[in-house]
Structure 1
Amino acid sequence: MNKVLKHFLLFLFLLGGYAFAKAQQDSIQIRKIYDEALKNGHSYQWLDYLSNQIGSRLSGSSGAEEAVQWTKEQLDSIGLDKVWLQPVMVPKWVRGTPEYAFIESGLGNTTQVPICALGGSVATPNGGIKAQVVEVQGIEELKQLGIEVVKDKIVFFNRPMQDELILTFQAYGGCVDQRYAGAMEAAKLGAAGVLVRSVTHSIDDYPHTGSMSYGDLPNSKRIPAAAISTKGAELLSTLLKLNKETKFFYSMSCKNYADVQSYNVIGEITGTQFSDKFMVVGGHLDSWDLGDGSHDDGAGVVQSMEVLRLMKAVGYRPKHSIRVVLFMNEENGLRGGNKYAAVARAKGEKHVFALESDSGGFTPRGFSFDSDDRNFNLVLQWKTLFEPYLIHSFTRGGSGADIGPLKGDGTVLAGLRPDSQRYFDYHHAANDTFDAVNKRELELGAATMTSLVYLMDNYIMKPAQIIEAPLKD
């Protein structure tokens, strides 16, 4: 064996030994993170206060502003290097008195059904609206009917989530357009109002709210839009088949106000080597007003706060500056996410990684990544580190709405992906409450997020055009 070959084999042996030692070191560090989260975690007690003491946190509400101050206090108590509020103007929409609705299937024959106004909707006229109903399966079918059929009617969008789709977010995406744009399209055809089947797999009496848009329609052309529970939708559809003259009545008193000032809440641990390079972990602090927003997105908020607390608790000092960002106004405007990205660009800040939790506090299964090939292939090498915790799904795909504006210039984006089969049972509904969240599942999610941030902090690959010193242990 010649001398060159011997040296090459020795190099491979040493390299393999180094890689094994690093993997062992990473495994030990991740074990410490999970132990701390499961034995001494703060996420569940934080969520308890956020949900049960503060409650719903719709943008512009007193609950949202109380949550801003309280989460800032909690981040201050962790002992971060910096904590601050970032001002952002947000929409203010108020639901008003509880909505009321009934189906009139014959003279004097009425059945009350649960509805809720969609976020941003105008109110019904005083005294409510009663009109015949036109049932459609989507916006395209509505357009085919034309003004002659639709004018002065209540349009009932009744396309359900597709049960055969395993990925529930895919099923959600397949029908949420009727909620968001249904009223705008129906108004163009002279409809009196809109009802939308709640976007959930469950057949129950919980109507699910959510954002909607009138586009550029003038106020005088806007019509009231409500979600009807899935049980109510099934009943209405059945009665319409029996009697096409069936009418629907509903009354809503919601109102839009001028924008008000709110805040993103930001905390930071300054990096030891690359303090001018930033990693973000976050969720959205606002929620809809029907429940207390425990899954959407109280879970993501407290998990993100816990990432920084866990790093300090296990004595890990990150190389990059790590920020937790609690975004305001994801639900009905995305103002917080856009504002954070705009300020970062104006300051010339370089973000290399961002992780969002906005899919509920269920058992974590893995992550989805919006990244270049090199970093995604790097992530795939970490699967063995996560498999002891039953985290096995690493896919290409979307990350999160609030961190989306940070995309570009090589930034790696990721989203925590919990088991999603129950998520839309609670999404935007009155049953999205603290009792629906499991303590252990929530804590596992926080530990999983922290572990990914730790690995990214140590191994993330910079864009090829950026030349800088390699990361050191």
Structure 2
Amino acid sequence: MKKIILLLLSVGLSINGYSQNEDEKQLKKIYDQALTNGKAYDWLNYLSNQIGGRLSGSVQAQLAVDYTKLQLDSLGLDRVWLQPVKVPKWVRGTPEFAYFETSPGLSTNVPICALGGSVATPLGGLKAGVIEVQGIEDLEKLGRANVEGKIVFYNRPMDPTIISTFEAYTGCVDQRYSGAEEAAKYGAVGVIVRSMNLRLDDYPHTGSMGYGDTPVSKRIPAAAISTKGAELLSTTLKLNAGTQFYFKQNCKQFDDVESFNVIGEIKGSEFPNEIMVVGGHLDSWDLGDGSHDDGAGCVQSMDVLRLLKTTGYKPKRTIRAVLFMNEENGLRGGNKYAEVASNKNEKHVFALESDAGGFTPRGFSFNCSDENLKQVQSWKNLFEPYYIHLFEKGYSGADIRPLKNDEMVLAGLRPDSQRYFVHHHAENDTFEHVNRRELELGAASMASLVYLFDKYGIVK
């Protein structure tokens, strides 16, 4: 018996049913290739510094489509194509301007930016008294008499005691998305929202917002104020409740325009009809260049295909890199991809999204069965040399969520999140804040997970 065990170990077989030695060697090949010959950083450099912010429907978004397709074409994949999708076109216009006035002629400028999808202020701007609230629920307590004719200032911060910054973000983002819709019901004339940022600084953070069923004529302008600006305004209101706020923005919503998801594919050698997706969203907001959100996820996904090819691995299943358009203000790309997949009766078994920045990878979260999570956790020792330790159930990604069915596995790359919301949707989401090695480690971690799921399949 002892000889049999030694023989099994010598050929790399484990009691978990996978070839430990073979998998260790393949993961090392992937990580070595990513860290010595990675392409993600160079691709991101071009996306960020030569193209810039890629708001859906913009010229820059189309340039990004053209560039990433060209790069995927150069990798010698089995197929590369563009998938048409109609997307919204919202334009910010000239830079926003704001100040608050404590008495006639005594004013203080504060940094703001229009929220994505907002209407403009009147041509001369909007000036009114301010009512500060900690959330949408405060409006009902105050009633129409205290809100009508005023600008509602939503000032609930992200909770700094929550270690998961994405959880902290979820705890206050409702005031950004629905704040204007709800405030308009009480007669408010405008909305100012504290930026979703754990740091005190002068960068306002944009993001999507909606009006629900509010008629166009009843919609009120909405803007984000920087965290330092929010603190200053709040303190001033406590000292002088009669403070007036002025802001001017010139944004406009146009008709939908055509754009594209960019897709590259390696055909499976044994199960070509079983499809695995790895992706990120190609669009970004327009204030910075979208390096972390989500240029990083796109170039990492592209590099997953390259890493598998350059390490000599031949996938059993079809593996696609999908660069989704319009995650930020509509999710049209993710929905279109799922719609086309359904119409073609395609069988998707796995999808992985990177949309949490290009920071040091810590692991993955999974939307899957207990059996599939157990399988992933059996691979944990393969990732330990690379300091990847997080394998838990949780959120995967917005773009891949429409693909979900009862059998497939959805996964999300989970980098260290402590710096992410310093840059999220702000002017300082720029290439200089991306570390090359961290970005490459993320690409290698993604490629490793894709390799393992392709080799061993999902548990049914």
What's the TM-score bracket when you normalise by the shorter of the two chains? Answer: over 0.9
Which residue of the partner structure matches residue 452 of structure 2? 455
Which residue of 242, 246, 250 corresponds with 1:245?
242
* Count of residues in Structure 1 that have an aligned counterpart in Structure 2: 456
Question: 1:411 aligned to 408, 411, 424, which one?
Answer: 408
Among residues 282, 296, 300, which one is paired with 1:299 in the alignment?
296
User: What is the match of residue 64 of structure 2?
Assistant: 67
User: Could you tell me which amino acid in structure 1 is paired with residue 457 of structure 2?
Assistant: I
Residue 377 of structure 1 is matched in structure 2 by 374
Does the Cα contact within 8 Å between 2:409 and 2:458 map onto a contact in 1?
no
Partner deviation per Cα, 1:198-250 (whole Å, 9 max, x = no partner): 00101000000000000011001100000000000000000000000001000
Alignment partner of 1:284 out of 277, 281, 284: 281
Contact 1:285 1:329 in 2 (8 A): yes
8 A contact 1:352–1:462 mirrored in 2? no
Post-superposition Cα deviations, 1:86-136, rounded to whole Å, max 9, x if no partner, equal: 000000000000000001011211000000000000000110000000000
State whether structure 2 residue 221 is matched by structure 1 residue 224.
Answer: yes
CA distance in 1, matches of 2:379, 2:304: 19
- Does the alignment pair 1:330 with 2:327? yes
Query: 8 Å contact 1:153–1:191 — kept in the other structure?
Result: yes
Residue of structure 1 in register with 2:306 after alignment: 309
**Which of 1, 26, 31 is matched with 1:29 structurally?**
26
Aligned match of 1:180: 177
| Unpaired segments ≥5 residues, structure 1 | 1-5, 464-473
**Aligned-partner Cα distance in 1 for 2:13–2:388:** 22
Which residue identity does 2:434 align to in structure 1? V
Q: Which runs of 5+ in 2 are unaligned?
A: none
Which of 185, 194, 199 is the equivalent residue of 1:197? 194
Letter in 2 for 1:308: L
CA–CA separation in structure 2 for the residues paired with 1:40 and 1:441 = 14
Give, as a single letter, the amino acid of the residue that structure 1 aligns with 2:431: F
> How big is each residue's C-alpha offset from its partner over 1:314-337, in whole Å with a ceiling of 9 and x where there is no partner?
111100000000000000000000
| Deviation per residue, 1:230-277 (Å, 9 max, x gap) | 000000000000000001000000000000000000000000000010
Aligned residues of 1:375 and 1:460 also touching (Cα < 8 A) = no
| Residues 113, 228 of structure 1: 8 Å contact kept | yes
2:19 aligned with 1:19 = no
CA shift for structure 1 position 461: 2.5
Of 35, 44, 52, which residue of structure 2 is paired with 1:55? 52
Q: Which aligned pairs between 1:76-87 and structure 2 lie closer than 5 A?
A: 76-87=73-84
Tell me the secondary structure at the aligned position of residue 388 of structure 2: coil
Matched, 1:431 2:424: no
Q: Which amino acid aligns with 2:310?
A: A
Comparing 12-21 with 93-102, greater Cα deviation is found at: 12-21
CA distance in 1, matches of 2:420, 2:184: 31
Contact 2:408/2:458 (<8 A) preserved: no
TM-score, L = length of structure 2: 0.97
In structure 2, the partner of 1:362 is: 359
2:397 matched to 1:400?
Answer: yes
Q: Which residue of structure 2 aligns with residue 468 of structure 1?
A: none
The one-letter amino acid of 1:374's match is E
Percent identical among aligned pairs is 68
SS of the residue 2:74 aligns to = helix
Contact kept? 2:361, 2:415, Cα under 8 Å: yes
1:423-448: CA deviation from partner (whole Å, max 9, x where unpaired): 00000000000000000000000000
The letter of the residue matching 2:13 is: A
Residue 115 (structure 1) aligns with: 112
CA distance, structure 1, for counterparts of residue 117 and residue 3 of structure 2: 67
Aligned-pair CA distance for 1:460: 2.3
Aligned twin of 1:351:
348
Distance 2:156 2:13 in 1: 53
Q: In structure 1, what is the equivalent of residue 267 of structure 2? A: 270
Q: Secondary structure at the match of 2:305?
A: helix
Equivalent residues of 2:280, 2:324 under 8 A apart: yes
Question: In 1, Cα distance between the equivalents of 2:58 and 2:288?
Answer: 14
Secondary structure in 1 matching 2:13:
helix
- Structure 2 counterpart of 1:276, which letter? N
Candidates 120, 123, 128, aligned match of 1:126: 123
**Is the 1:403–1:413 Cα contact (8 Å) retained in structure 2?**
yes
How far residue 459 of structure 1 moved from its aligned partner, in angstroms, is 1.3
Contact 2:12 2:22 in 1 (8 A): no
Cα distance between partner residues in 1 of 2:339 and 2:125? 42
> What is the one-letter code of the residue matched to 1:433?
T
Q: Shift of the alpha carbon at 1:409?
A: 3.7
SS in 2 for 1:122: coil
Letter aligned with residue 344 of structure 2: K
Query: In structure 1, how many angstroms separate the alpha carbons of the residues matched to 2:141 and 2:250?
Result: 31
Normalised TM-score (structure 1): 0.95
